[in-house]
Structure 1
Amino acid sequence: MSGANVTEELNNIRTALNTREGGFKDLFKPGLRKALVIGVILSVFSQVTGINVIMYYAPEIFKATGDGTSSALVQTVLVGGINAVMTLVAIKYVDKLGRKKLLLTGAAGMTVCLAVIGWAFYNQMTTGYWVLAGILLYICFFAMSLGPLTFVVVSEIFPTHVRGRAMSVAIFFLWLSVYIVSQTFPMLLKAIGSAYTFWIYMVMSVLAFLFVWKRVPETREKTFEEIEQMWSVLK
């Protein structure tokens, strides 16, 4: 990087730091309003695609496949381990492959896995490895995409002066989605059964894929100032 580029970058950072902290009303200004909508919807999709159903209810799901309690608990621990490992994989490759590509790959993989899980329950093929394989692969795809990268993208698409406010709004809707999904899952199981319940989450994954493809910008190798200029153009 040349001396001129370094000076320009330092000036951009100094300008950003000297900008007053924005309030919640600033999030609804043209440009930033679009970023807020993207951040909130992406946060919601990270939950309504069913991750906490898998994490919270994994022992019951595995027991429903015919496994005993001890075996179900072992499989639940395996789920947690895979989640941790694949999150590290995402961290390693996010700058090389880009946020959007990983998000699209993850959403597509989750869609296939949820379709397989629903198919296994629908055809009462739960005593084999279909459900277990579907859940473990689902965790892999989630942990390399929507899991960690939702927070990365949401933090990067907002200018410095409103980032804190915007993150708080996005996280509020994320946890609201967690609550709604965790409360509705048992009711859905009782009302429509396991197969159709997982197919609902499959549809959510399809919608997440389409949303990322059409609306979420790639923020890799972009400075905060470049992203802010991008939103100002999209007023």
Structure 2
Amino acid sequence: MASESFDPERPDALLASKGHERDGSRGAEIDATREPLLDRSISCESYSVKAAVLPFLFPALGGLLYGYDIGATSGATISLESSTLSGTSWYDLSTVEIGLQVSGSLYGALIGSSLAFTVADFLGRRRELLTASMLYLFGALLTAFAPNFPVLVVGRFIFGIGIGLAMHAAPMYIAETSPSQIRGRLISLKELFIVFGMLLGYVTSNIYVEKVSGWRYMYASSAPIALIMGIGMWCLPPSPRWLLLCAIQGKGNTDGAKENAVGCLCRLRGRPHDASSYEEIDGILAELSYTGDEKEAGFREIFQGKCLKALIIGVGLVFFQQVTGQPSVLYYAATILKSAGFSAASDATRVSILLGLLKLIMTGVAVLLVDRLGRRPLLLGGVSGIAVSLFLLSSYYVVLNNVPIVAVIALLLYVGCYQLSFGPIGWLMISEVFPLRLRGRGLSIAVLVNFASNALVTFAFSPLEDLVGTAALFGGFGVIAVLSLVFIFFVVPETRGLTLEEIEAKIL
């Protein structure tokens, strides 16, 4: 395998290993070089903080627009249903129509996540985010200028497809282009952008909710952000890891692939072409050669070996993230605060702003701690707090209903602990654990499960509440939270400080 070291002057050498691997003689030579690959400190990557900002910022705007849609839609629904403020002749909407308007982007996100399974590896992370920004822009404008309800729903679906693609590609692009020392912090910071987007949506709703056709302004306000995201992604380089994967698999022009990847890496790190850049690229190439990534991923492989383990970790986290009641607890927020006598509780938009601020602060705490404490401590501590808060809420509706402060404490504890754990860490882990060759498809399944379980919990909450009662429902969420703790303790690994290649080699 010594012959597989890549000469900086010979970019075509990255394919030299392919014939060597196919002849079945890898065994001893690979084992001899395996340990040096993992032992050398690729983790100590030199980078410029200034250069790392933009490759994070523009993909993170995709998350901000997702959060903005959640926040703005609550106010847009109030505006759209008002006979005096709607500014339309079709304001008298049925419950089904309101449901389509509110959840249209969520169903679009399900479609976008499904599309990502087939197009992500072809487009690459950068072009997928470019496509998402165009869908965001077109969907926002179509919704804002909708002449009738069917056009509005189509606009919501198109915007939602953009959400599905953006939430799939953004964590991948950030994970693959970030220095390993700050990867966790940057991906967690993307969750901060989602929360900030929600807060921005709530504030925008509060500004326009009493204006005629205010819902049009709420939806149109996301268009400039989408445009900035598109321009930014156009200017950013592709993911070096994706370029190398394409080269190893024989797609496109392979002659200058290594030099292209080195150039992109240097732009992303803000450093000149030097020996360390070639060494980092050589390390990625050596790992790709070792793991047999020259073959394109097949559907069955997603459910085998390393990817199956990664799928269990990633899908398990995003599933528990939703079925521990996250959409439902926030649904009850206004009622809980009002019962405690908070004057702001009479105004739903102001209550939302209050909770948005709390979410923002706690996500900021998670960002500061994730690369210091690690992923597992935050998950175990945060989810423990979620379980306690859910059992407190259940008790409030059974025996403590004359002590509303208990419900308020439980609500704030839930929101804070969720933003310390499942909120940022779920998205972080799914972007880290999948092997490179299967990352696009594996992550698309995880994102699809996230949106599908969100839709399921949102849809099933009211029927289940009527069937078993509020107390039993929150108690059930608490039991699920305890089960998720068991899952985290026994299944979820610690990935702090490891490169993506080291995670694949050491943990999977």
**Do both share a fold (TM > 0.5)?**
yes
Offset at residue 230 of structure 1 (A): 2.9
CA contact (8 A) 2:434 2:442 kept: yes
> What is the one-letter code of the residue matched to 1:211?
F
Whole-angstrom distance in 2 between the partners of 1:69 and 1:123: 25
Residue in structure 2 matching 1:123, options 376, 399, 406: 399
Equivalent residues in 2 for 1:142-157, closer than 5 Å: 142-157=418-433
Offset at residue 123 of structure 1 (A): 1.3
Matched position secondary structure for 1:219 = coil
Percent identical pairs in the alignment equals 35
CA contact (8 A) 1:31 1:231 kept: no
Matched position secondary structure for 1:37 = helix
Residue in structure 1 matching 2:478, options 187, 198, 202: 202
Residue in structure 2 matching 1:99, options 375, 379, 382: 375
Whole-angstrom distance in 2 between the partners of 1:217 and 1:66: 40
Matched position secondary structure for 1:217 = coil
Q: 1:138 to 1:71 in 2, by over 3 A?
A: same
Residue in structure 2 matching 1:10, options 276, 281, 287: 281
> What is the one-letter code of the residue matched to 2:480?
M
Q: 1:68 to 1:141 in 2, by over 3 A?
A: closer
Question: Which residue pairs with 1:27 in the alignment?
Answer: 302
> What is the one-letter code of the residue matched to 2:345?
S
Residue in structure 2 matching 1:51, options 306, 316, 326: 326
Whole-angstrom distance in 2 between the partners of 1:221 and 1:115: 35
Question: Do residues 71 (structure 1) and 342 (structure 2) align?
Answer: no
Whole-angstrom distance in 1 between the partners of 2:299 and 2:419: 31
Query: What do residues 19-64 of structure 1 show as CA deviations (whole Å, max 9, x unaligned)?
Result: 455343321221221211221111100000111112344334545x
Greater RCO (CA < 8 Å, at least 6 residues apart)? 1
Whole-angstrom distance in 2 between the partners of 1:165 and 1:180: 22
Q: 1:151 to 1:126 in 2, by over 3 A?
A: farther
Q: Max radius of gyration: which structure?
A: 2
Of 12-21 and 50-59, the range deviating more from structure 2: 12-21
CA contact (8 A) 2:493 2:507 kept: no
Offset at residue 114 of structure 1 (A): 0.7
Question: Which residue pairs with 1:182 in the alignment?
Answer: 458
Whole-angstrom distance in 1 between the partners of 2:425 and 2:468: 32
CA contact (8 A) 1:23 1:165 kept: no
Question: Which residue pairs with 2:267 in the alignment?
Answer: none
CA contact (8 A) 2:336 2:404 kept: no
CA contact (8 A) 2:394 2:471 kept: yes
Q: 1:202 to 1:226 in 2, by over 3 A?
A: same
Q: Which has the higher helix share?
A: 1
Offset at residue 225 of structure 1 (A): 1.5
TM-score normalized by structure 1? 0.87
> What is the one-letter code of the residue matched to 2:497?
E
Q: 1:76 to 1:131 in 2, by over 3 A?
A: farther
Offset at residue 127 of structure 1 (A): 5.5
CA contact (8 A) 2:397 2:470 kept: yes
Whole-angstrom distance in 1 between the partners of 2:340 and 2:405: 11
Question: Which residue pairs with 1:225 in the alignment?
Answer: 501
Question: Do residues 170 (structure 1) and 446 (structure 2) align?
Answer: yes
Question: Which residue pairs with 2:412 in the alignment?
Answer: 136
Offset at residue 185 of structure 1 (A): 1.0
Q: 1:90 to 1:66 in 2, by over 3 A?
A: closer
Matched position secondary structure for 2:469 = helix
Q: 1:197 to 1:61 in 2, by over 3 A?
A: farther
CA contact (8 A) 1:53 1:181 kept: yes
> What is the one-letter code of the residue matched to 2:324?
T
Whole-angstrom distance in 1 between the partners of 2:474 and 2:441: 34
Query: What do residues 116-157 of structure 1 show as CA deviations (whole Å, max 9, x unaligned)?
Result: 111011115256211111111100000010011101011111
Whole-angstrom distance in 2 between the partners of 1:15 and 1:177: 38
CA contact (8 A) 2:307 2:438 kept: no
Of 71-80 and 88-97, the range deviating more from structure 2: 71-80
CA contact (8 A) 2:335 2:345 kept: no
Q: 1:196 to 1:126 in 2, by over 3 A?
A: farther
CA contact (8 A) 1:121 1:195 kept: yes
Whole-angstrom distance in 1 between the partners of 2:491 and 2:360: 28
CA contact (8 A) 1:32 1:231 kept: no
Offset at residue 203 of structure 1 (A): 0.7
- Structure 1: 5+ residue runs without aligned partners? none
CA contact (8 A) 1:59 1:69 kept: no
Of 23-32 and 109-118, the range deviating more from structure 2: 23-32
- Structure 2: 5+ residue runs without aligned partners? 1-39, 42-275
